[in-house]
Every structure is written in structure tokens, then in C-alpha cells.
């Protein structure tokens, strides 16, 4: 291996894709057990690597040199091999600092809480101190290394202004978890979360629902990779490279989720979006029919609407674990708030808002098989669609017109 990333588990890493966008070199994933990690580091058969969980501290004894910042942090995520001599750096610090700046957070004089006690938590503490935070506390379940327990944090530090999450709590494949609820934090000004898969953790969505600026870790991931690549290749890139790559990778990873009334054109628009973006199409109604082995009118007739909704939630839970798809939902998919949260974690929700008069009832739609039912349904649901949507797309032309409105966003 010349360049790559080393960790114990790497199932969902975005790093090879990011490095492929940065430059013309191969960047590999390398999963190593602890014993293999020792052998790998002793052999030094690489030019530049990133290391991640759980080796950011364990790697230090194998290095010949360690840059001052990485030493002060006590964690290394980038190693460059120069003529057999290994030097360790911490580019997570550049990544996190840029993420904090991007969210627009000002840490000066603030109380900062950092869930987590691993390598990234050390980087976050260092960043917070460098940015002149007033007080910085790490939080863990065990209270180790002088950290607070979650109970103490909630009891004594509910006046914290900034939260920087460095735990894997809420990461794929358990996106519904959250390290702490934000309810008690009445003075909260911002949240940065190192988790990038899902793109928006529960913590991030919880903050945003309270009007608090918050972002996940994708931007941090891209920024640390750009800085690592500069060190690998001993060159520097234009300052906006991180933003450019972030936009590209976000567009690639995000799901385009179509919501709206029966007959508003979700399926037709979904097909066009799939053809133009190359993202695969998932149609929740179709998946429900496959799973149930019968048609939607049959499910409603034989099992009832609640059974249909349970199947729908199950399909949405499965689909929203993955990014990079076009998801066309059934008209009632957003009625359960949990479905909306799941869809938002990796997706952007577009409401195809078509005027109720032009929605055509059909026999295969048990809740919308007459014009009267359709009208009634629109009235009930209009506020739900509005509240769920990231973007409202007025539907007046052909499905092609609607699809191109979405792609312009």
C-alpha cells in the first residue's frame, strides 16, 4: 500500500472517494487487527497513511517524529514516511476547526461540552482551548480520564453553549441513537458532530429542530483529508478545494426524497431523477407490495391501515440507512414524525406540491379513490408536507419540468 487508511473496522469509510477527488493517487482501505497493526507499523511499507479508531494513540510509539500540535493533542491521524522516517500529524484538528468556522460558531469565552474520551475528543478539547473557550469538559459513560458522567453534565453544566460530539453514538448502523438529549441546554448556541454517516445524526437534527446551528462531520472529514493529502504529497491546494469536494461528495451521498400527495407525480419524477443522476430508485409503495406479497388495496382491506403504516415505517428505516438514492415515498409516509427524521438523516426532502384540483383519484389508492377524499386528504396533510419539506417544489408542468426544478436546487 502506498496511501490509505488503517483502522480496525472500515466498512463505511468515504475516504477513498474523497482522496480520488483530491488527487491522482490510489488510496486504499486497510482493516487491521491489533496484532496486524503492530506488524504493519514495524514494516513501514507505505508512503502516507491515515489512522483511525482505535489506533490514533496506539500509533505514537511507532513514530520517529511527531509534530508539536499532534504531540500536544496526544493523537495522530496522519503519518508520512520520508525515506523510512515516520512523522505523525493531526489533521483532524484542521478539519474540526474548519467545521466550527463553517457552522459560524464563536467559542471565545464559552462553556464547551465534548461527549467522548477517544482520540477525536482530545482533538476537540485542544481545538476548543485554542479557540479560547472558557471551560471545556469531556463526558463519558464511565467518567474515565477526568471526564464528567452524563448525569453530571446534565446536572451541573446545562448552561453549556457549545457541544462537540466525538462519540460514535448515533453512527451507522444505529442512526437512531443520540449521546444526550438537548432539552435541558437552554443556552446552547451550536453543535458540531464528528459523525458523517448518517450525514445528519439525531443530535444534529435535534439541535436544528430547536433552531440551533448544527452540522455533521462530513465537512470535517473532507477538510482533514485535504490537509493530509498536502502532507502526503508535500504540496498545497487552493483554499476552496475543501468546499468544492464537500459539495460534490454531499450531492453524491445524499438521498433525494420525494414527498407529497398521491398523484402529485412522485413516481414519474423519481424515474427521471434516477435516469439523470444515476442514483438508484427506491419506491416505498413498490417495496411494501413486494414485502407483503399483495397489492396496496389488498393490504388495506385485509390487514388495515395501521399494518400498512408499520410496513411503510420498516421500509423507510431500511432505506434511510443508505445514501445515494432517489426515494419516492407513498403519500402518507411523512405522517409519522419518526419516518421524517429517518429520511432527513441521509436525505433532502422535496415536497411536490400540486394543486388539489389537478390531483386525479385512482382505484388503486384506498385513501384517495374519489375526488372528495383527495380534497379532504390534501387539507389534512398540507401542513405536514410543509413542515417536513426541506424544499417545496410547485408542480405545474411535466414531470421533466419538476425533475429539473429539483436538480437546480
- Is there binding between residue 170 and ligand S3P (CB under 6 A)? no
What strands, in cross-sheet order, belong to the sheet with 162-165?
135-139, 111-115, 162-165, 190-193, 214-215
- Is there binding between residue 332 and ligand S3P (CB under 6 A)? yes
DSSP three-state, residue 161 = coil
Cα–Cα distance, 318 to 341 (Å, whole number) = 13
- Is there binding between residue 331 and ligand S3P (CB under 6 A)? yes
- Is there binding between residue 265 and ligand S3P (CB under 6 A)? no
Q: What is the nearest approach in angstroms of ligand S3P to the Cβ of residue 289?
A: 10
Of 9, 43, 56, 111, which is the active-site residue?
56
> Can you tell me which of 262, 270, 323, 347 binds ligand S3P, judged by CB under 6 A?
262
Q: Is 266 a catalytic residue?
A: no
Concatenated DSSP letters of 343-401? HHHHEEEEEEEE-GGGPPP-TT-TTSSSHHHHHHHHHHHHHHHHHH-SEEEEE-S-HHH
- Is there binding between residue 119 and ligand S3P (CB under 6 A)? no
Q: What is the nearest approach in angstroms of ligand S3P to the Cβ of residue 300?
A: 7
- Is there binding between residue 48 and ligand S3P (CB under 6 A)? no
Do residues 402 and 348 touch, judged by C-beta distance below 8 A? no
Q: What residue number has its CB nearest to ligand S3P?
A: 330
Q: Which residue has the cell 457549545?
A: 162
Q: Which stretch, 41-49, 55-63, 327-335, 382-390, contacts ligand S3P (CB under 6 A)?
A: 327-335
Q: What is the nearest approach in angstroms of ligand S3P to the Cβ of residue 288?
A: 7
> Can you tell me which of 366, 369, 375, 382 binds ligand S3P, judged by CB under 6 A?
366
- Is there binding between residue 270 and ligand S3P (CB under 6 A)? no
Do residues 193 and 217 touch, judged by C-beta distance below 8 A? yes
Q: Cell numbers of 36, please?
A: 496486524
Other beta carbons less than 10 A from residue 32's beta carbon? 17
> Can you tell me which of 29, 268, 367, 384 binds ligand S3P, judged by CB under 6 A?
367
DSSP tag of 290: H
Q: Which stretch, 55-63, 107-115, 269-277, 326-334, contacts ligand S3P (CB under 6 A)?
A: 326-334
- Is there binding between residue 315 and ligand S3P (CB under 6 A)? no
Q: Which stretch, 81-89, 197-205, 330-338, 339-347, contacts ligand S3P (CB under 6 A)?
A: 330-338
> Can you tell me which of 96, 296, 340, 374 binds ligand S3P, judged by CB under 6 A?
296
- Is there binding between residue 399 and ligand S3P (CB under 6 A)? no
Q: Cell numbers of 240, please?
A: 476552496
DSSP tag of 279: P
Concatenated DSSP letters of 125-157? HHHHHHTT-SEEEEE-SS-GGGPBPHHHHHHH-
**Those residues with Cβ within 8 angstroms of residue 273's Cβ, 6 or more apart along the chain or in another chain:** 256, 258, 279, 281, 326, 403, 406, 407
Active site residues: 56
The contact set with ligand S3P (CB under 6 A) reads 262, 266, 285, 296, 330-332, 365-367
Amino acid at each position: 500500500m502506498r496511501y490509505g487508511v488503517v483502522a480496525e473496522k472500515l466498512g463505511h469509510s468515504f475516504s477513498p472517494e474523497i482522496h480520488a477527488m483530491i488527487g491522482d493517487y490510489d488510496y486504499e482501505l486497510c482493516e487491521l487487527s491489533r496484532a496486524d497493526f503492530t506488524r504493519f507499523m514495524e514494516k513501514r511499507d507505505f508512503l502516507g497513511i491515515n489512522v483511525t479508531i482505535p489506533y490514533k494513540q496506539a500509533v505514537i510509539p511507532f513514530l520517529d517524529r511527531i509534530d508539536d500540535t499532534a504531540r500536544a493533542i496526544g493523537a495522530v491521524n496522519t503519518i508520512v514516511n520520508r525515506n523510512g522516517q515516520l512523522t505523525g500529524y493531526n489533521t483532524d484538528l484542521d478539519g474540526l476547526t474548519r467545521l466550527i468556522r463553517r457552522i459560524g460558531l464563536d467559542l471565545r469565552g464559552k462553556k464547551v461540552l465534548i461527549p467522548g474520551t477517544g482520540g477525536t475528543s482530545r482533538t476537540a478539547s485542544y481545538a476548543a482551548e485554542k479557540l479560547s473557550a472558557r471551560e471545556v469538559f469531556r463526558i463519558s459513560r464511565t467518567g474515565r480520564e477526568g471526564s464528567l458522567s452524563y448525569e453530571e453534565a446534565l446536572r451541573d453544566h446545562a448552561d453549556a453553549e457549545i457541544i462537540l460530539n466525538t462519540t460514535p453514538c448515533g453512527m451507522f448502523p444505529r442512526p437512531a441513537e443520540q449521546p444526550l438529549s438537548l432539552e435541558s441546554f437552554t443556552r446552547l448556541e451550536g453543535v458540531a458532530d464528528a459523525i458523517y454517516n448518517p450525514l445528519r445524526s439525531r443530535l444534529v437534527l435535534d439541535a436544528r429542530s430547536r433552531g440551533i446551528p448544527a452540522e455533521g462531520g462530513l465537512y470535517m472529514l473532507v477538510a482533514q483529508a485535504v490537509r493530509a493529502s498536502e502532507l502526503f504529497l508535500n504540496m498545497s491546494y487552493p483554499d476552496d478545494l475543501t468546499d468544492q469536494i464537500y459539495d460534490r461528495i454531499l450531492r453524491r451521498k445524499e438521498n433525494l426524497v420525494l414527498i407529497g400527495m398521491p398523484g402529485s407525480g412522485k413516481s414519474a419524477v423519481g424515474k427521471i431523477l434516477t435516469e439523470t443522476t444515476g442514483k438508484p430508485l427506491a419506491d416505498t409503495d413498490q417495496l411494501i407490495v413486494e414485502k407483503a406479497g399483495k397489492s396496496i388495496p389488498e393490504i388495506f382491506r385485509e390487514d388495515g391501515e395501521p399494518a400498512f403504516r408499520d410496513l411503510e415505517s420498516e421500509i423507510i428505516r431500511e432505506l434511510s440507512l443508505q445514501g445515494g438514492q432517489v426515494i419516492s415515498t407513498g403519500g402518507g409516509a411523512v405522517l409519522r414524525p419518526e419516518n421524517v427524521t429517518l429520511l432527513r438523516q441521509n436525505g433532502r426532502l422535496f415536497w411536490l406540491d400540486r394543486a388539489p384540483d389537478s390531483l386525479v383519484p385512482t382505484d388503486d389508492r384506498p385513501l384517495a379513490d374519489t375526488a372528495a377524499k383527495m380534497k379532504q386528504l390534501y387539507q389534512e396533510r398540507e401542513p405536514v408536507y410543509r413542515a417536513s419539506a426541506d424544499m417545496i417544489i410547485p408542480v405545474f408542468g411535466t414531470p421533466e419540468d419538476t425533475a429539473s426544478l429539483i436538480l437546480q436546487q
